[in-house]
Structure 1
Amino acid sequence: MSKEVEAYIVIAQQEWELNLGSNARNLAFEFSKTKPVIYVNPAIDLRSIVSQRKSPHYKRRLKLALGFGENTEKIADNLWVHTPATVNYSINWLRNTGIYDFLNRQNAKGFFKSLRKGMKSLNLHPEKCVILNDSQMFTGLFTKKYLKPLLSFYYIRDNLIGHPYFRFHGTRLEPQTIQLADAVFANSAYLAEYASHYNQKSYDIGQGCDLEIFEAENQYTEPEDLSAIPHPRIGYVGFLTGERLDISLLEQLAEAKPEWQIVLIGPEEIMFQESSLHGMKNVHFLGSKKPQQLPVYIYHLDVCMNPQLINELTIGNYPRKIDEYLVMGKPTVATATPAMQMFLPHVHLAVGVQEYIKVIELALLPQETSARNEAIACARSHTWKACTDKIYDTQTHLLEA
């Protein structure tokens, strides 16, 4: 007979208050449709206290960390946010693993002590709760030791150990955290395969997307800053970062096909700001747009693209923008990575400028209605409910075993 789950606890990488689009937030909302959920903010650390001491947000965080205020707040039906009443040691810079491990354990003790107190205030019992650890590979290593939940799941939605911050200690500790989990869930086959080296119960549960505002059959008025740009328009919508996007590829593409207009929509970081793209007549930077404006801009592009670099950060990454492109019925081209294989045959994949030119030329040809409709249906199938249903299936199997 399976055991009853009382609640879900989502141990997150990102603070709820930052209001960034994140898988952990979406999964928390989906879980809350069936059970109470506590979304747990990361603990504040000493370095952040010093560097962000003038920020009103961090002043509030410090008060909560010191125990002044309400650490567990209800923010929606069946959903609470817990901000830990603890201050972490800033230890990522340490190279002595013995000292690091000792202080990491101390950080975890404070974190889980605060979480247990928050759960108690809601009359929740750790041994009846399921944990979803959103790649908190350091503190999360001690989930079972200091919380003792009914089940503890590890969730991977990005190859974080490819990032310099996580690389040194993460390559050592994430495998241990994965091994200790009752199961591991990933949003791509590539990341699930990586996790399976350390835990056989590793599953690709896909990626959910919020596509309610995207409707391919709507007639959207063309924005003024786009109307002056001639066709064909080859566009990218999202954060413009040189860590993940191939600036050189875009430069070569714009130079090789001057009749194509490269339209880049989104905020830029320094590598894009300083690139030669800004001096090219057929490259257009339209800046940041509000989320509700994105369908309008995508609608008026001829081809949408995702010109990713292939590196440790991107190789297993699930680009949610592909679903946004496809659900708008747009011909889509992208860099060929393992995570992109699931979108075939609805996308054109390429590596290098010559292949990109070929697939964009194909994408500019008239679309067949059936192929367009199949692409839209593919995107619509990627829901958060589909993700959590797979988690529930694994959970049921484990509890009945």
Structure 2
Amino acid sequence: MWFLVQTPHPWRGIRQRPHHLMAWFARRGHRIHWVQPRYLRWLVERRRDFLEARREEPLPGLTVQPVTLLNGERLPAVRRCNRSRLARALGAGSGGGEEAGPRILWLYNPHESHLADAVPHDLLVYDIMDEYRGFPWSPPRIAEEEAELLRRADLVFAGTHALHEAKRAMAGGRVECILSGVDRELFAAAGGHGKAEAAWRTSPAHQAIRRRARRLAGYAGMIDQRLDQSLLRAAARALPDWEFVLVGPTVGELARLRGDPRIHLHPPVRHEDLPWYYRAWDAALLPFVESELTRHINPTKMLEYGAAGTPIVARALPDVARFYADGAWLYREPEEFLAHLREIDLLPPDAPAPRQRAALQWAEERGWDRLADRMLAIVEEMLARRRPH
């Protein structure tokens, strides 16, 4: 099969659901044509990226094609130009004939239903990761545009139970709830056995962190409006033995975090290096506010934290409470957050708590390989039903 993938996520950015799924599809022998937009203002501001952003094949069978778009999509002429460029870029990856196999148009942008008319395909899939109305940058008509894509898609994969419940009534085709997964082998490598243990103890991350604090709580991911800045500031004041490190790209106003000497903003690290950071922490955090956006997420980092064996303190968001209550310290109020960190401070260092053992089991059951194979089986089943008998 040929997967024609349109996503706003750059291949070399933070590894998210699309990256893991398409990498596994490629490993299973399918061809992936990944089209990622880059807007003209980025090229003006980052000329080196413009010169280097060429078509590449980071994995066997997976091609990444950047496509340059214009700003100002509210103007009809700009919108028509951008849509035409996206369609041409996606169409260029279809293999050039029926002998290449079925073409799966796989979309992540909720406002790209127009591609269904412009790109030849055998199956239209919408893999929904977030409640996009909750992002501050979402265009005004995002709800109407997503409703159109849901209506037209042959198959919708919802990455969270909350999204599945919210979107299935609007879908015109089949809807499946497929939660995100974890790279079990990568994150379990930090679990404290043999060479992995030695690598962790000698890693620069571990040594630098332990020079700063007796106890360290960490978060990895986008550092943006989802984080509860007031909670983190209050925890830094109330827990003198703890410091807090936030690893990842920063987006938006973060003045309350930058002003505290015991809250450290760390630049993004390679996905392959994250396990050693997790293992160096005494607690791994999901310190989100509750909002329209966060009420519909099922964070992949819960599985990554769990696979690394690090105690997890997380806000009891709907999907988090539904799927992870047995393996994490969940909170709804700031006092509970502080109490959980104090409890974790008293855990014996060499004996995993029952919650940690439960979190390790999540990872065993939710590897990306199993989830990707399940999704492929559903796609193949739908294609088989469409073939003439």
> What range describes the TM-score normalised by the shorter chain of this pair?
0.7 to 0.9
The worse-fitting range, judged by mean Cα deviation, of 166-175 and 296-305 is 296-305
Secondary structure at the counterpart of residue 114 of structure 2? helix
State the Cα distance separating 1:48 from its structure 2 match.
4.5
Q: Does 1:346 align with 2:346?
A: no
How far apart are the structure 2 equivalents of 1:361 and 1:197? 44
> How big is each residue's C-alpha offset from its partner over 1:314-341, in whole Å with a ceiling of 9 and x where there is no partner?
2222322222221122221101111212
> How big is each residue's C-alpha offset from its partner over 1:124-150, in whole Å with a ceiling of 9 and x where there is no partner?
5798211221x2223x31233122311
Partner AA of 1:248 in structure 2: S
Aligned residue in 1 for 2:148: 176
The structure 2 residue matched to 1:266, chosen from 236, 247, 265, is 247
> How big is each residue's C-alpha offset from its partner over 1:182-210, in whole Å with a ceiling of 9 and x where there is no partner?
11112211122222131162222111223
Alignment of 1:124-273 (within 5 A): 128-133=102-107, 135-138=108-111, 140-199=112-171, 201-214=174-187, 215-218=190-193, 219=197, 220-221=200-201, 223-231=206-214, 233-239=215-221, 241-258=223-240, 260-267=241-248, 269=250
Task: Give yes or no for contact 1:30–1:388 (8 Å, CA) kept in 2.
Answer: yes
Secondary structure at the counterpart of residue 182 of structure 2? coil
> How big is each residue's C-alpha offset from its partner over 1:244-268, in whole Å with a ceiling of 9 and x where there is no partner?
211100112222333x312214257
How far apart are the structure 2 equivalents of 1:217 and 1:278? 35
Secondary structure at the counterpart of residue 165 of structure 1? coil
> How big is each residue's C-alpha offset from its partner over 1:41-68, in whole Å with a ceiling of 9 and x where there is no partner?
234445545x44x61222465xx7xxxx
State the Cα distance separating 1:75 from its structure 2 match.
4.0
Task: Give yes or no for contact 2:103–2:123 (8 Å, CA) kept in 1.
Answer: yes
Q: 1:267 to 1:143 in 2, by over 3 A?
A: closer
How far apart are the structure 1 equivalents of 2:281 and 2:3? 41
Alignment of 1:270-289 (within 5 A): 274-275=255-256, 278-279=259-260, 283-285=262-264, 287-288=266-267
Q: 1:169 to 1:126 in 2, by over 3 A?
A: farther
- TM-score of the pair, normalised by structure 2: 0.82
The worse-fitting range, judged by mean Cα deviation, of 357-366 and 244-253 is 357-366
Task: Give yes or no for contact 1:126–1:147 (8 Å, CA) kept in 2.
Answer: no
Partner AA of 1:376 in structure 2: L
How far apart are the structure 1 equivalents of 2:251 and 2:36? 27
How far apart are the structure 2 equivalents of 1:45 and 1:345? 43
The structure 2 residue matched to 1:13, chosen from 5, 8, 11, is 8
Partner AA of 2:281 in structure 1: L
> How big is each residue's C-alpha offset from its partner over 1:223-273, in whole Å with a ceiling of 9 and x where there is no partner?
332223453x24113246241211100112222333x31221425747776
Aligned residue in 2 for 1:68: none
How far apart are the structure 1 equivalents of 2:337 and 2:22? 38
Alignment of 1:57-76 (within 5 A): 57-59=49-51, 73-76=56-59
Task: Give yes or no for contact 1:245–1:307 (8 Å, CA) kept in 2.
Answer: yes
How far apart are the structure 2 equivalents of 1:227 and 1:117? 51
Q: 1:393 to 1:58 in 2, by over 3 A?
A: same
State, as a whole percentage, how many aligned pairs show the same letter.
19
Aligned residue in 1 for 2:61: 78
Q: Which runs of 5+ in 2 are unaligned?
A: none
Secondary structure at the counterpart of residue 32 of structure 2? strand
Q: 1:240 to 1:83 in 2, by over 3 A?
A: closer
State the Cα distance separating 1:353 from its structure 2 match.
1.0
Partner AA of 2:328 in structure 1: V
